Structure 1
Amino acid sequence: MGITSLSRNLRDFSHPYFYSIYSFAPHSPFPSSSPSKHFGRFIRFYTAPTSDSAARSPLLCNSTSQSVPSLCLFERCNGVTKDLNLGLFRPHYRSCRRSFSSDSFEKPQFGTGELNVFKPNVTSNQFWDIINIIRANQEDLESKLDSLNVSFTNALVAQIFRVLNNHKVSAFRFFNWVRVQSCKFPCNSDIYSLLIDNFGRLDDYEGILPVLNEFRQKGVGLNHKAFEFLHVHLSDEDSIKICVERLVKLLNEVGGSCRISGVMALIEMFCSLGSFGMAKFVIEITERRTSFYNIIVREQCRRNDFEGARCTLDEMRQAGCSPDVGILNYLLSSLCKNDKLSEAQNLFEEMLERDCPPNSLTFEVIICHLCEIGNIESALNFLDMMVSRGLEPRLSTHAAFVKSYFNSQRYEEAYRYTIDSSLKHGMAQNATYSLLATLHEKRGNLVDAQKVLCELIDAGLRPNFPVYMRVLKKLQVQGREDLANDLKGKFSNVSMQRDIQTG
């Protein structure tokens, strides 16, 4: 995989599960302070120091396990680190009127936030004409919409739904009309969910059932937007529980993927509001699934409610739902990211002791955090432990080491790690060499960058093309034609050999 696409993919991981601080993005920052400043504030993980720099970190080796090195995630001492086609419609749609003012809706003033984006295919006046036509609910509603000659994109339809839902105006006829106008529209889960929300705001639970049945037949899933009408009931626990029970009854009657997505959407919606008690109530009256509990744990981690997350995990186990390695990795990375290092230590040791062994990502979370604070020696020990358990390091794990060495100005060690990892893990060779060349190029070490790329080519591998081009052009600009021609010739030869092999 190319170094550029890897950088983009790794940077795009938004949640702490992918806590790969030292990804293949060559510009990922290393803490600006000297690494030595961090050693005094942390206690090393588990092995004896192998260098003078490592000796500055005292050890805690109190693990009772004899099968693995003693694991002691460092303790924090007053410091902060930098940061993982509906057909079954009810025939009485014209009876769906509600008592509204006879006046047209007023257009919101600029900056109110009610409507802040109009797509190029519709003007503000056209938008509010559409709203008023739907609100009037007259016999010629469909023909009036036709006469507007507007292309109804998903974004536009969603915005119309939001306004209609906020004002408790039935969107049923509009939905039935617009689904015929656009072949792309039926694929949009947001629109379907907004339709359910529309029924809910009108307290029309009877209208929800046939729509859900059609969704199930079409394989449509719901999301949290379907149940935003429940927000108004949050202050009344009895009322909201009654509403939830009615919805769950409908979802159970429909069944299939629509039921599962609907239940998950309910849980997600309550979690987004911080109403974890109601989220657990949904689980109690439906079924106890690991995937349902995971939604709660993730949101608690996002809110840094780690005590709540641990309690939820305990509840899962008591309910017979064993947490999987994925959600434990999420919690582990959240703890590391928020300096809850003692709790992270306990969690990692629990994973070793319980029937949920760590995977490659578990070790990467720890390795990346150690590399971030400059504790590379301990990170290497975790790498050894990882490999001894038969786990293959991910490319981003290798990147963490290369960038940590490089950014701490240990250039020779970065080079040696690149060679060593390439010998032990052949799949990483192209990516790690290309990364090292990029780091040298960014620092202005074009001679070293050219050397690294040439070594990669001599091994029969074609380096990442954008990296090659940047180094080549900069060499030419600086007048190093000898190095540029040498690199260009080698690259042409390896490209020709690849073409022959693939041709």
Structure 2
Amino acid sequence: MLLSRHLRRFDRLRIVSSPSVRLLSAKPVSDEKLRCQVEESSYDQRTVCEAITCYSNDWQKALEFFNWVEKESGFEHTTETFNRMIDVLGKYFEFDASWSLVNRMKENPGSIPNHVTFRIIFKRYVTAHLVQEAIDTYDRLDDFNLRDETSFCNLVDALCEHKHVVEAEELCFGKSVVGVSSNTTKIHNLILRGWSKLGWWGKCKEYWEKMDKEGVVKDLFSYSIYMDIMCKSGKPWKAVNLYKEMKRKRIKLDVVAYNTVIRAIGASEGVDFGVRVFKEMKERGCEPNVATHNTVIKLLCEEGRVKDAYGMLNEMPKRGCQPDSITYMCFFARMEKPREILSLFGRMIRSGVRPRMDTYVMLMRKFERWGFLQPVLHVWKTMKESGDTPDSAAYNAMIDALIQKGMLEMAKEYEDEMVERGLSPRRRPELVDTSLEETLVCR
């Protein structure tokens, strides 16, 4: 019973990280005390964007807050807050609502649609496999004075990013595109990366060679993409050879290229060689970023050198490079002791690093596999207190942990909540049987 009360209490929490925002349930300002808080609050663009992000897994509440903050607090939405809301709506295929917001944006000079607006719409259409709708959107951009090379590249990028590279090639080379040149290094790079996304390594090699045959000038990004392909296809030594070729051609590497090289050398020759390149990039004036440190930390953790990885974690802030959720996930992936994981998770939260949803899910799944329910509840509670709305994966992890402990009634409550939010739970015989038994008893 105590555990059940705790679970219900955890699920009522609606606290967000920013103190100036109070995300609202069904009726945002029905409470007089909350109304007074609202009147005293100062909403800015950053705060509103954070609030919308908190409900990125619940588009109805996100849209409710979006409309409420404008109506009740007098906040004037900007292009960025509109874009954030359109992204959330597109995630749930609410395209009519997205276009409604686009039309609202045109009414205010401070929120005119920009390239980012339509890059988001391209991405969401293509994610939903509505390729023609994405292309039609590009054709409509004359109305916004945005039908240009940038928008075309954004469209091709969305197609390639979400595994519609065949359609991207057809769009670029199968027919003429008025006013836009498709035969550029940038377009070829996007398509090369598209084949990489599909994991068609033979096609990647074929396309790389085709670029040479057609006289396409390969730049830093071309090499960076192909080095990444070599790493992912299990041939890191070929990525190292490409790195040496770049040095011979005197192509100046940027931080992205160095990150790929460190990963490739670390995988093929060991982490110590990766650390050498890490030092080399600093000597050449290329400052390592968070991804660079994460790459080295991951290599160290994979070789069991967790102490050295902790040393780098401690050094990152001193170098002006704050760890992110991926930094900590490199550790979590290799840790096998619940107490150590919870200790590091606590440090992560205290340092102000906000976990991603897949961070929560990773930890909940780990604890569930080990048969520990209390840590699962702790992670769930932290997620709620951070203002993050659980997605399907998080709900399923919680439900599985409860079923494992025989708490079928509570598991069913979470499953029902998923359905109410429009999420699809997995079919679980235990919960089907429970529901059927309750129905028969009622009859």
Taking structure 2 as the reference length, the TM-score comes to: 0.46
Higher relative contact order (CA 8 A, sep 6+): 1
Higher helix share: 2
Which has the higher Rg, Structure 1 or Structure 2?
A: 1
